[in-house]
Amino acid sequence: MKNTPRTFTLAFTGASGMPYGIRLLEKLLDSGNHVFLMYSQAAQIVAQQEMKLALSSRTKEAEEFLSQRFKAEKGQLRVFGREEWFAPVASGSNPADTMIICPCTMGTLAAVAAGLAQNLIERSADVMLKENRKLILVPRETPFSAIHLENMQKLVQCGAVILPPNPGFYHHPESVQDLVDFVVARILDHLNVEHSLIPRWGKESL
């Protein structure tokens, strides 16, 4: 049974880990929710490098391509450029229910922590914080420097969720996809979106 449709803002930035973001997009659409999607130029490069996936710089082309790929209904997915300041996500008068930056670069994390809002991704995150809406950042970096940790602590104190893509192994993964699904499942749990990506702890033998 699908959830009551909600609206999520999803942003891809140029960190490694694009399979997490693409799988998350797939499951959000599959659950019947609406998604506002943004991605940086660096994210386009990473998508090509890691998944041989070409994300168009033309938003309408990207909408059509991704909607067909994931069998989304018309209007369920909207893609915005990083400078589209009239997008709904740019204003606190029309925020999404939740925003996820996955994968999230340390540069984007730092910009959000500093409240820079110099592009639509950063502005959308800024809106979520000021409107007390949930903001989830999935930083793919290792090791973390003291600066990274300070920025994360600052964001947590502002109400954000820092969810590094660290997969567990108690579900006995047999493929890279199993590891990806573990992380995406944890994100979906924080979004209260139903899924069956991995067994629930204590409900099935592991």
- What six digits make up the tokens of 115? 């409240």
Helix (H, G, I), strand (E, B) or coil at 17: coil
Q: Give the Å distances, CA to CA, from 12 to 46, 99, 127.
A: 10, 11, 17
Average of pLDDT values for 164-178?
Answer: 94
Which domains are present in the chain? Answer: 7-191 (3.40.50.1950)
* Digit-coded pLDDT (tens) for 180-203: 999 999 999 999 999 999 988 877
The backbone region for 155, taken as left when phi is positive above 0, alpha when psi lies in -120 to 50, beta otherwise, is alpha
Band the pLDDT of 4: cuts 50, 70, 90.
confident
pLDDT over 70 (residue 205): no
pLDDT attached to residue 204: 58
Query: Where are the strands (E) in 57-178, listed by range?
Result: 77-79, 98-104, 134-139, 161-162
* CA-based nearest residue to 82, from 26, 46, 120, 138: 120
Residue ranges with strand state E in 47-197: 77-79, 98-104, 134-139, 161-162
Percent of the chain with pLDDT over 70: 97
CA distance 41 to 47: 10
pLDDT over 50 (residue 89): yes
Q: What is the pLDDT of residue 1?
A: 42
Average of per-residue pLDDT across 15-42: 97
Q: Rounded mean pLDDT of the chain? A: 95
Global pTM exceeds 0.75:
yes
